[in-house]
Amino acid sequence: MFKFILILKNLLMKKHLLILIILFTFINLKAQHPDKIIIFLLTDFETNYPDHGLGGWLTDSINPWVIDDDNPENIWQIGKPYKTAFDTAYTVPNSIITDTINSYPPNNHSSFQFLITKSEWAKNRCISTLFLYFNHKYETDTLYDGGFIDISYDNEENWINVLNDDNVDDIFFQNFYGIGDTINNGEFAFSGEYLNNWNNSGIEWYWNDDKASNLDSITIRFNFISDGIDNNKAGWMIDNIYFLIEDYCTIGRCRK
């Protein structure tokens, strides 16, 4: 499985046609470990590639990325980008972006998220590992505006910036923001400019047997925040979001 993750990290940096290679590789792995992988999904906002998934685990097994429509000021949109800084999606034509045409406004907090929750009939299954990777670009007012990811383990009552997640036994980051990357409200976040190339960022969570068996739901949320100054910048554009969830507990090989 580790070899597959390394292959995936490299391929996500290349042209989207190589997604087919990822899928064939995954199908082979699935045949070797049929009961370990719970969910595999790659979303490019054109066509989703759900190769495996237990019904009822995701908000929506076809399009699990839910934009917060309850917030009338939410600027996340799925579509073709028409900005000077953002003019082409990673997998054309669509991406998810902080407005496909306009720069982001001041005093804004917009989000989209996905929910992983156990069905009643799947209570014996474990969430042992979770891999989340995505390609993105951003243009924001450095140290004031930016994007970050947080996680909730209690049905969205409390949120934790993934950099502060102490509910996990091991966590690893690739091309991610760090403790020195803060924005105006004190959150750790992607901020500044990353425009010339696509950044491939990722998080890997690992839970031991006790925590994995007690994880009933996880919500992961992508946030974009701006302060009170309008600086006419593009914001955040994300494409090719991939996640994989594995269950080791029920096959007797859970992490200790």
Residue 47 confidence (pLDDT) above 80: no
Q: Which of 87-91, 103-107, 121-125 has the lowest mean pLDDT?
A: 121-125
Report how many helices (DSSP H) and strands (DSSP E) the chain contains, helices first.
Answer: 3, 13
Query: How confident is residue 46, by pLDDT bands cut at 50, 70 and 90?
Result: confident
Assign domain 38-251 one CATH number from 2.60.120.200, 3.40.605.10, 3.30.70.240, 3.40.50.300: 2.60.120.200
Q: Which of 28-37, 89-98, 162-171 has the lowest mean pLDDT?
A: 28-37
Spatial distance between the Cα atoms of 256 and 251, rounded to a whole number of angstroms = 14
Q: Which of 40-54, 130-144, 156-170 has the lowest mean pLDDT?
A: 40-54
Helices (H), the chain: 2-11, 19-32, 209-214
pLDDT in tens, 157-207: 999 999 999 999 999 999 999 999 999 999 999 999 999 999 999 999 999
Its pTM stands at: 0.86
For range 79-93, the mean pLDDT: 97
